[in-house]
Structure 1
Amino acid sequence: MPMRAIKADITTLDVDAIVNAANERLTPGGGVSGAIHRAAGPELAAACAAIGHCPTGEARITPGFRLKARHVIHAVGPVWHGGRRGEPDLLAGAYRASLARLREAGGRSIAFPAISTGIYGYPLREATRIAVATVRDDLARNGDDLDVTFACFDQHTLDTYNQELAAP
């Protein structure tokens, strides 16, 4: 079960699916969501509008349109409220749901951004710990060898992911 972190623009990755850190309305936003929508083209927003909604902690899938990735998985992570409103479980759910959508689509490779760590304010170290542990557990439980990449926007995020990936 290969997992790695790289410093990269997630919109450029040639994988079966990239994950969009989406909002519940699945509308184009700022940060990674805006970048994915710009790179995929207006067809992505139309596909998201047809789906309409995705609750926090869940994920939906669309074609990748103009991206190298065949699919975009729209995962809705939680807004950080200090960790007392179920944020850890909701964040883990977004990662598990993304992997489930990948499997349902017959994909083997996926790239995740650091879900909820941008405008949603989730502390990076805590979010990274949840992301890595959830993906590790999911891959072990499902007994498959998906190729998982954590696409990091900057060096600090990459260093944080690499520290967590190196931990036992």
Structure 2
Amino acid sequence: MAWEWLSSIKNIAEIVASLGNLTKNNRATKDLLIRELTLNIKAFETAQNQKKINYDKLLALLKNERIQKAREARFLFSTIKSGEVEAKHATDSRNQKHIGKNCEWLFKSIDEKIDDLRNQKEYHGSLENIDKSSIARQFSNLFYKMKLLAEFIR
């Protein structure tokens, strides 16, 4: 039950393809941030192809270094996409709560969640040692936040 939510997602490849189109003709930091988002979504696609998900391995595939570097350099995330998330961007009902948020908030939230999961893994030794439904929910929330960001910026 902890992983059924990912198998129900049919458009991961479409999301990745649309992000690939955005990296043409953009500045380096913007390109690298979109690339990192794309690779993170692909990590979920890789995990989706397995019968049993190893959360430690999935976490190892997720990257947030480019987000952290951009934040340290005070990169203006609004250069990727200005404005705020609207109802038309939140195609999944669970993302309705993020209406009104902006690109910077979404990147920052994704960055912090990846770090939070890494901290949990470090503390517990493995994410497999934590209640599976809690970890599945956290990964699910992270994926849907990434999906919302992808839908917002494309």
TM-score, length-scaled by structure 1: 0.26
Higher helix share: 2
TM-score, length-scaled by structure 2: 0.28
The structure with the largest alpha-carbon Rg is 2
